[in-house]
Amino acid sequence: MNPLIRQLVSPLLLAFVLDGADVAAAAKKAAPPRAEPAKPAAPAGDKLAIGYLAQQREYLPPLASFLSTATDAGVQGARLGIADDNTTGAFTLQQFELKETVIGADGDPAAAFKALRADGLRHILIDLPTEAAAALAALPEAADTLLYNVADSADELRGGRCAPNLLHLVPSRAMRADALAQYLAKKRWTKLFLAAGTTPQDALYAVAVKRAAPRFGLKIVEEKPWEHRFDERRTPESEVPVFSQGSDYDVMVVADENGNFGDLLSYRTWSPRPVAGTQGLVPTAWHPTLEHWGAIQLQSRFREQAKRWMTETDYAAWLAVRAIGEAAARTKSVDFGRIREYLLSDAFALAGFKGVPLSFRRWDGQLRQPVLLAAERSLVAVAPIEGFLHPRNELDTLGYDQPETLCKSPH
Amino acid sequence: MTRFRPLVLSPLLLAAWFALPARADTLYVTLEKDNALAVVDGASGKLVKTVKIGKRPRGIALSKDAKLLYVAASDSNTIQVIDAASLKIVGKLPSDDDPETFALDPEGATMFVSNEDDNRVTVIDIAQKKAVKRIPVGVEPEGIAVSPDGRWVVSTSETTNMAHWIERHSLAIADNTLVDPRPRYATFTADSQQLWVSSEIAGSVTVIDAASRQPVKSIGFKIPGVTQEKIQPVGIKIDPQRRYAYVALGPANRIAVVDAKTLEVQDYWLVGQRVWNLEFSPDYKRLYTTNGLSNDISIIDLENRKVTKSVAVGQYPWGVTVKP
């Protein structure tokens, strides 16, 4: 009966095993140090294996029973990226493979990572908790690899705990909060009520909102924690009005990354106020409502493959695999050093169906990209919002810009 | 009385027609959102008629004898054949799913269709109304062009970022040229020596030498007061003398005028919003642009180098073709 019963997401494990020859070839390619001059692309059939390492998380069941959580978020995006890379590879004589490893909630990410390394993989997508991601990047075995973070928004991983071998395909919390703040500033909805949940992630989301607000002239006029007391969950119609009563504010900004209560706020607040943040108007890298810039093509290709909508993690994983494929096509090589160099060069421009070229910030490894502001059935805006200017690239109005970065080991 | 009006007016109209410096022509504009075709008189800039056609019509071309229109009805998954005079749908061609753009060979006998969802080019024998070949290309093929000398069919794929060179007679891919990210439109110069490809994301046009299939130059665009992200080149038209090329710059709402010999940008002309495709009048004295977001077309007088008119046509005008 307890709605808070935690359930373990059913295991997903589809291993794509390289045959012996491929492993040997991949290991041979992986062996030389980065400094060695890149050898020219072989005339026929360069192969590159890309790893996907995910750890199951404990999820709360969604508030409404008709909603479901995708249990294969991320890996489906990576698979589509591999298919796209191989379509291109048919013309460039390059072949891409995905090796998927999913470990249980109590599994050891480092051991799984080392197994992938032993197979000769050096490009590894990771869907791991913050702590595990930071620990992996610091392993000696990770020195000559690139880890592509496709799921974690922690600012810490782009800041104090950044690593030169860690790239981020999903927007940070700071980018999301800045995107939302730009839109609210444009609407002149400047007074915010911040309702934060009790998880550590909610606290970090709230920190990002508090950082963003003064940057764009917004004010948090009230901040209240939403505690998971039985009454609040059972009778939102009585609890939410009381919770939201008091201050005069324009928008209720909610920090509830696990979806425990955020959906209960809309239409129940004391005053008629819109809800934004982790629920309501949501800043996100990807959303089913995005159809512009050819995005409808990616949406429909993904749906055909996965039989569901593309999530943000799928999009990030697709981007990671496409970035590697694009670098391999442009450098005409699957050499690790050349791909790495190209990914972080000025020449790298990834088409991500959001109207502008995407590229990596060399100061923290974050992929600069527009952030969508989406309601459930409507794409409301795309940040950077027109008018927020930047001397070099307007995408850098979102998140930690070069002068502000806390990352001490740039890429 | 009204019955006699056409008789009275006809000579006057004829007189007016002869007095005009440019010859009369008829524009056919596909309206992506209205599922319709707009017919515009080019000389007067008047919307003559709008007729309902298939779903999400985009690419459009005229048959060689100018009697039939071919329209890619993307969401109807077909190429519709429309009588250019009566505007009645008289047939369809088997294009496979989601046809967006297509090109005809110089004889007007074969059609090459980009199938964005299936990563292939469908080759259609128009007389037989039959798909004779499906050629696998890169991810999301869009731009397609046949060289006027009939040697090449080029397909550009948006996610693979390549121009695929298909030999027209063997229908085999002979070469691939990497171009700037997200190529949208491809066209040959009249002498078949160069291929021009626009790249939406890079904001550039790549000019490729057809003999070597190597890029000659990437043309960039810079407009004071317009952010670089807004400059997303799409449609390209190059005059037969290869003096000027005109490039539609999408949400920058401008046409770039490029010296087609030096490959330097000469000028930018303000047109409607999100300018998409272009077409010349048959005498090359006018240029027409479809403006997707302002729901109109712009008419440009190329002799005086001036935008003379905008004509409201309907929702999301996409493609345009012109009948003499």
Q: Does B109 touch chain A (CB under 8 A)?
A: no
Distance from CA of A79 to the nearest CA of B (A): 14
Q: What's the average model confidence in pLDDT over A249-274?
A: 95
Which is more confident, A34 or B93? B93
Res. A62 pLDDT band, cuts 50 70 90: low
Same domain, A12 and A116: yes
Question: Which residues does chain B have within 8 Å of residue A351's beta carbon, measured at their own beta carbons?
Answer: 158-159, 161, 181-182, 200-201
Whether A100 and A163 map to the same domain: the answer is yes
Let me know if residue A396 belongs to a domain. no
B309 CB burial (10 A radius; 0-12, 13-18, 19+): middle
Are B176 and A326 an interchain contact pair (Cβ–Cβ within 8 Å)? no
Query: For testing the chain B interface, which of A82, A86, A88, A350 should be mutated: the one with the most B CBs within 10 Å?
Result: A88
Span A282-334, pLDDT tens digits: 999 999 999 988 899 999 999 999 999 999 999 999 999 999 999 999 999 99
Task: Tell me the C-alpha distance between A253 and A191, whole Å.
Answer: 10
The Cα A348–Cα A340 span in angstroms is: 11
Domain termination residue (choose one: A248, A267, A284): A284
At residue A304, φ and ψ (nearest 5 deg) are -60, -40
Report the alpha-carbon distance of residue B11 to residue B7 in Å, rounded. Answer: 8
Q: What is the mean pLDDT of chain B?
A: 92
Q: Is B138 on the interface with A (CB under 8 A)?
A: yes
* A206 & A245 share domain: yes
Contacts within 8 Å (CB) and 24+ apart, B18-23? B21/B285, B21/B303, B22/B281, B22/B283, B22/B285, B22/B286, B23/B281, B23/B282, B23/B283, B23/B324
Q: What's the CATH code of the domain at A262?
A: 3.40.50.2300
Q: Is residue A402 part of a domain?
A: no
Do A121 and A34 share a structural domain? yes
Instruction: Please compute, for residue A409, the number of CA atoms within 13 A of its CA located in the half-sphere on the CB side.
Output: 11
Q: Give the pair of three-digit tokens for residue B231.
A: 């400059």
Task: Tell me if residue B178 falls in helix, strand or coil.
Answer: strand
Residues A153 and A198 grouped into a single domain: no
Average pLDDT score over residue span B87-107: 92
Q: Looking at the predicted structure, is the pLDDT value of residue B205 above 80?
A: yes
Domain membership of residue A144 (yes or no) is yes
The reply to whether A394 falls in a domain is no
- Gap between the Cα atoms of B294 and B306, Å rounded: 19
Look at residue B21 in the predicted model and tell me its pLDDT. 53
Same structural domain for residues A194 and A152? Answer: no
Task: Closest CB to A355: pick one of B116, B138, B229.
Answer: B229
Q: Is B213 exposed, middle or buried (0-12, 13-18, 19+ CB in 10 A)?
A: middle
% residues pLDDT > 70 (chain A) = 86
Highest mean pLDDT among A239-243, A244-248, A402-406: A402-406
Q: Are residues A166 and A310 in the same domain?
A: yes
On whether both A322 and A254 belong to a single domain, the answer is no
DSSP annotation of A71: T
User: If you average pLDDT over each of A282-286, B20-24, B158-162, which comes out highest?
Assistant: A282-286
Contacts of A322 in chain B (CB under 8 A): 159
pLDDT band at residue B19 using 50, 70 and 90 as cut-offs? very low
A242 and A364 fall within a common domain: no
Last residue of a domain, one of A284, A316, A341: A284
CB contact under 8 A, B182 and A322: no
Percent of chain B whose predicted confidence (pLDDT) is above 90: 86
**Which residue, of A369, A384, A400, is where some domain finishes?**
A369
Q: Say if residue A292 is in the same domain as residue A150.
A: yes
Residue A148 has pLDDT above 90, yes or no: yes
Strands (E) in A82-198, as ranges, are 94-103, 123-127, 146-149, 166-168, 191-196
- pLDDT the model gives residue B227: 83
A377 residue type, one letter: R
Q: In this structure, which CATH number among 3.40.50.2300, 2.120.10.30, 3.40.190.10, 3.30.70.1060 belongs to the domain B142-242?
A: 2.120.10.30
The DSSP 8-state label assigned to residue B250 in this structure reads B
Of B181, B133, B173, nearest to B157 by C-alpha is B181
The mean per-residue pLDDT over the stretch B48-69 comes to 96
- Whether A393 maps to a domain, the answer reads no
pLDDT at residue A234, as a whole number: 61
Q: State how far residue B266 is from chain A, nearest Cα, in angstroms.
A: 25
ipTM score here? Answer: 0.80
Q: Looking at chain B from residue 230 to 269, which residues have their Cβ under 8 Å from any Cβ of chain A? A: 232
Neighbours of A182 (CB within 10 A): 26
- Which residues in B lie closer than 8 A to residue A90 (C-beta atoms)? 136
For A31, A34, A122, A257, the CA distances from A337, given in Å and listed in that order, are: 12, 5, 10, 37
Q: Is pLDDT at A42 greater than 50 in this prediction?
A: no
Residue A398 token pair: 């979102």
Residue of A nearest to B179 (CA): A330
What pLDDT shows up at residue A230?
Answer: 58
| Residue in B114, B140, B165 to test binding to A, most A beta-carbons within 10 Å | B140
Residue B207: closest CA among B265, B287, B289, B148: B265
Contacts of B161 in chain A (CB under 8 A): 88, 326, 329, 351
* A391, part of any domain: no
Which token pair is A365? 């490894």
Q: Kindly report the average pLDDT of chain A as a whole number.
A: 88
Residue A167 lies in a domain: yes
DSSP-H helix ranges across A151-199: 155-158, 173-187
E strand or H helix at A138? helix A130-138
Q: How confident is the model at residue B321 (pLDDT cuts 50, 70, 90)?
A: very high
Looking at per-residue pLDDT, the higher value among A29 and A244 belongs to A244
pLDDT at residue B22, rounded to an integer = 56
Residue A231 has pLDDT above 70, yes or no: no
pLDDT-derived band at B266 (thresholds 50, 70, 90) equals very high
CA A208 to chain centre: 16
* Mean pLDDT score, B149-178: 96
Number of domains within chain A: 2
- Residue A300 shares a structural domain with residue A194: no
CB < 8 Å to B116, chain A: 297
Per-residue model confidence as pLDDT tens digits over A92-118: 999 999 999 999 999 999 999 999 999
The domain in which residue A213 lies consists of: 174-284
Nearest to A267 by CA among A241, A305, A290, A289: A241
* Structural domain includes residue A252: yes
Taking the complete model, does pTM exceed 0.90, yes or no? no
Given an 8 Å threshold on Cβ–Cβ distance, is B162 in contact with A91?
yes
| Residues A247 and A360 placed together within one structural domain of the fold | no
